[in-house]
Amino acid sequence: MKPFTVSNPHPAVTLKQIAEAAGVSLACVSYALRGHGKIPAATRTRVRAVAEQLGYRPNPRVASLMAHIRRGHAQPEGERIAFVWVHTTRSQAQRVPFLRQSSLGARRRASQMGFGLEEFWTNDPGLSAPRLAEILRTRGIVGVVLSPITTGESALTLDWDWRHFAAAVIGSVTWTPELHHAGHHHYLGMRLALGELVQLGRTRPVALIEAKTSERAKHAWEAAFLTFAGDVRQAADRVRLVADPADPTLAAWVESRRPDVLIVSETTLLGAPGLAALLKRKKIPAVTLYWSKSTPRGIGGVDQCYDRIAAHAVDLVVSQLNSNEFGVPDLPRILLLPGRWVAPRLPRP
């Protein structure tokens, strides 16, 4: 009996085959495919055309290893993953609690899996998106975690050639092209808050939700409120999207609904004119859907656990690296976490 063998119908094209077909040296092919200025532009174009005709597909993991070898020294933490801060300054990354939580969670998870984590900022002076992509490739970094977005965009793009990277996004902002995501499950987060409030005897909630954040969250908070906050018609009259946190009508609107608890998407909304005084006078507790350690004492809510979310973004990147998957996914994975409940301190009757 003949031994069973498995043949590859599409064997990998080697650099040696490209060199022979193009009539150049192996080193020339290597430099040309990396776009190195040592090789004339015309030669680079010709070599790339031959490579494409032969069906050559680069392996970014091998390119990463070769980049380390060319630098002539070992990396103390092994292979690295880039944590790219998108539209975020260095000071913001250190100052904003959930951003610090994100980077620490990603770094801790990368270390557990044997990777180093190196941070980069798209906002650095003179650094364009294509230039940053070039820097990462030169350093042999092909795994990329993209930071949460703190600016107002609900959709975002980055001028990169994604074919060379295995990437995942932290957060709910829509990317073009769409990438793998790890983020907060806003629908289940609101459901969690409403369920816990019922257990505390609070059955007449009113919700103020910041409009831009709601758009990013695909309006999942409102959907959950309408579904789980009682009669749909009544619930629709007790949730309001807020375009301007300084809107002077918010306090009167809340008071007219006679709530026994106020849910806000973020505590900045509690700064609306007259709102804090109303809550104190009526002994109405407030909870936030965006709780952090910097939230004022006594206010509970949903901790979105961005350290865990960032860790799962690293998992998405590493799974792609281990499967040799690069570029824009044909079916992006979305990994969502509901967060955990932090009980509020309720005022005495």
CATH number for the domain whose boundaries are 186-303:
3.40.50.2300
Distance CA 53, CA 73 (A): 35
Token output for 283: 């002994």
- Count CB-CB contacts under 10 A for residue 295: 19
> Can you tell me the distance from the alpha carbon of 318 to that of 324, in angstroms, rounded to the nearest whole number?
10
Helix/strand/coil for 273? coil
Residue 161: HSE in the Cβ half-sphere, 13 Å Cα cutoff: 9
CATH architecture, range 80-184+307-338: 3-Layer(aba) Sandwich (3.40)
Three-state DSSP state, 213:
helix
CA angle 256, 263, 308 (to 5 degrees): 170
H or E stretch including 335?
A: strand 334-337
Local confidence band at 133 (pLDDT 50, 70, 90 cut-offs):
very high
The three-point CA angle 263-303-191 to 5° equals 50
Q: What is the pLDDT of residues 304-345, one digit of tens each?
A: 999 999 999 999 999 999 888 999 999 999 999 999 999 998
Q: Which residues in the chain are classed under CATH 3.40.50.2300?
A: 80-184+307-338, 186-303
Q: Is the pLDDT assigned to residue 6 strictly greater than 50? A: no
| Identity of residue 96 | V
Q: Residue 54: phi, psi to the nearest 5?
A: -80, -10
Longest dimension (CA), the chain: 89
Give the model confidence (pLDDT) of 178-202 as tens digits. 999 999 999 999 999 999 999 999 9
Q: What pTM was estimated for this model as a whole?
A: 0.77
One-character DSSP codes across 110-157 = HHHTT-EEEEEETTSTT--HHHHHHHHHHTT--EEEEPP--SS-SEE-
Mean pLDDT of the residues in the chain: 88
Report pLDDT digits (tens) over 340-349: 999 998 876 5
Query: Peptide bond before 177: cis, by omega within 30 degrees of 0?
Result: yes
pLDDT band with cut points at 50, 70 and 90 for residue 5: very low
Fold of 15-57: 434 Repressor (Amino-terminal Domain) (1.10.260)
Looking at per-residue pLDDT, the higher value among 8 and 214 belongs to 214
Supply the pLDDT for residue 55.
81
The tens digit of pLDDT for each residue in 30-63 reads 778 766 667 888 888 898 899 888 887 665 555 5
Query: What is the spatial distance between Cα 271 and Cα 110, in angstroms, rounded to a whole number?
Result: 38
Q: How would residue 265 be classed by pLDDT, with cut points 50, 70 and 90? A: very high
- What pLDDT does 37 receive? 67
Are residues 265 and 214 in contact, defined by beta-carbon separation less than 8 angstroms? yes
